[in-house]
Amino acid sequence: MKKKTVVKSILSLALAACVAFPSIAGAEYDDFEGSVSGKKTVESSFSVDPGYGYVKLWFNNKGKNDVTITVKNIDTGKKYLTITLKPGKSYTWRSVNEWKGKAVGAGEYKITYRDGSGGSVNVEYAGFSSNDEDEGRTA
């Protein structure tokens, strides 16, 4: 009889934890990373599946010149980000900071990197799309 009580207690605690901390229970994400280099203008891409619209992107300019980075949804044409990143600097963009409680649209995204001085781009990047708003804030 004690075993049943212990098992029920453990299951109740686990269920309570999942309700109280949903990011522990069901957070899923699709991540990507890479680097681009060699030309004045370079592109990379990533996709956001339906329900995974909480996006975090990180960029690190390893080149000698400023690089302008633009993130655009190919399907809708909507621009989500345009920044100029100085040499040796990194930048993190979180969609949840831009649109509280909202996610970016599903679809294919293009990231364009442009060297403003006619040199060559050299940028590392990483990111993920998640089904959990909290993942985009902290991860």
Nearest to 103 by CA among 80, 85, 83: 80
In a domain, 19, yes or no: no
Tokens 């040796």 label which residue?
88
Q: Quickly state the pLDDT bin for 26 (edges 50, 70, 90).
A: low
Name residues whose C-beta falls within 8 Å of residue 87's C-beta, 6 or more positions apart in sequence.
61, 62, 63, 64, 65, 66
In a domain, 67, yes or no: yes
Mean pLDDT of the region 26-48:
86
Residue 73, token pair as written in the block: 């949804």
- Strands 67-73 and 107-115, by their bridges, are antiparallel
Sign of CA dihedral 89, 84, 47, 106: positive
| Residues facing 91 on adjacent strands | 59
- At residue 7, the pLDDT reads 43
Mean pLDDT of the region 31-45:
91
In a domain, 13, yes or no: no
Residue 78, token pair as written in the block: 């909507």
88-115 confidence digits (pLDDT tens): 999 999 998 877 767 899 999 999 999 9
Mean pLDDT of the region 55-75:
96
In a domain, 56, yes or no: yes
Looking at the chain, list the stretches that DSSP marks H as alpha helix, in order from N- to C-terminal side: 2-20, 22-26, 95-98, 133-138
Kindly report the CATH number assigned to the domain that includes residue 133.
Answer: 2.60.120.380
In a domain, 8, yes or no: no
* Count of structural domains within the chain: 1
In a domain, 95, yes or no: yes
* Host domain of residue 122: 27-138
In the chain the first and final C-alpha atoms are separated, in Å, by: 43
- At residue 31, the pLDDT reads 85
In a domain, 104, yes or no: yes
- At residue 15, the pLDDT reads 44
How far apart, in whole angstroms, are the C-alpha atoms of residue 118 and residue 132?
Answer: 40
In a domain, 2, yes or no: no
